[in-house]
Amino acid sequence: NAGVMQNPRHLVRRRGQEARLRCSPMKGHSHVYWYRQLPEEGLKFMVYLQKENIIDESGMPKERFSAEFPKEGPSILRIQQVVRGDSAAYFCASSPPGWADEKLFFGSGTQLSVL
Amino acid sequence: SQQGEEDPQALSIQEGENATMNCSYKTSINNLQWYRQNSGRGLVHLILIRSNEREKHSGRLRVTLDTSKKSSSLLITASRAADTASYFCATSIQGAQKLVFGQGTRLTINP
């Protein structure tokens, strides 16, 4: 019973390139959350999605960042024209349908390094 | 600003001792959760305490919640080297379907 799967584990991009981070939630989970973590800091909420819907994107930067969770396939966090400040660990978490403030299940994260 | 503020930021103790970490928050919550993060890994859920609960136990973990002071504490008893990790509190805020995390406490258990 696989957990939350994120890939790639490490991603290196040069400034100006695009970064695509993938997240496959746990089987049976239809809610996906993306968080960003800078070194020695806590996790900052970015976006909450359900299948084909963005529910809360209050933590997403207004430009260059987008997220989707299509009917089929993984959730994608896309960062266009990356800058050095985008370097961070990006974590995805999932929860089952009808979530009533229960725990989240986290993936191992994608470490993005922008050169 | 962060919903959760943790204290201390770092804690180093000897194996076998108890470790206590504190978390304060600002707004009304549905529940408060504690997670552990080993270096370079994702977060693992430890324990959840609801707003109408005051204390909860799970193995060597004991969590308290004081909603009047908007604070919680996590106690790890009889610490082991394997408990070395960062510990985060996370609050489920009323009216928002997301968890808001604190800055974390880095716990080091010395053998």
| pLDDT tens digit sequence for B2-29 | 466 888 999 999 999 999 999 999 988 8
pLDDT surpasses 90 at A34: yes
- Please identify among residues 17-76 of chain B the ones whose CB lies closer than 8 Å to any CB of chain A: 30-31, 33, 35, 40-45, 48
Q: Please confirm whether the linkage preceding A25 is cis (ω < 30° from 0).
A: no
What is the b/e burial string over A11-29, where b = at least 16 CB atoms within 10 angstroms of the residue's CB?
bebeeeeebebbbbbbeeb
Mean pLDDT of the residues in chain A: 92
Look at A28-42, A52-66, A93-107, B55-69 and tell me which has the smallest mean pLDDT.
A93-107
pLDDT of residue A99: 62
For residue B103, the chain A residues in CB contact (below 8 A) are 41-42
Pairing verdict, β B105-110 and B10-14: parallel
Answer for the pair B50, B30: CB distance below 8 angstroms, yes or no: yes
> How many angstroms separate the CA atoms of B37 and B60, rounded?
17
Residue A94, burial from CB neighbour count under 10 angstroms (0-12, 13-18, 19+): buried
Question: What are the phi and psi torsion angles at A92 (to 5°)?
Answer: -110, 145
Looking at chain B, the whole-number percentage of residues with pLDDT higher than 90 is 77
For residue B40, the chain A residues in CB contact (below 8 A) are 109, 111
Mean pLDDT of the residues in chain B: 92
Minimal Cα–Cα distance from A103 to chain B, Å? 7
> How many angstroms separate the CA atoms of A46 and A23, rounded?
14
Q: Does A33 sit within 8 Å of B98, measured CB to CB?
A: yes
pLDDT of residue A103: 86
Q: Which residues make beta-bridge pairs with B83?
A: none
Mean pLDDT calculated for residue range B71-75: 97
Q: Does B44 sit within 8 Å of A106, measured CB to CB?
A: yes
How many C-beta atoms surround the C-beta of residue B109 within 10 A? 20
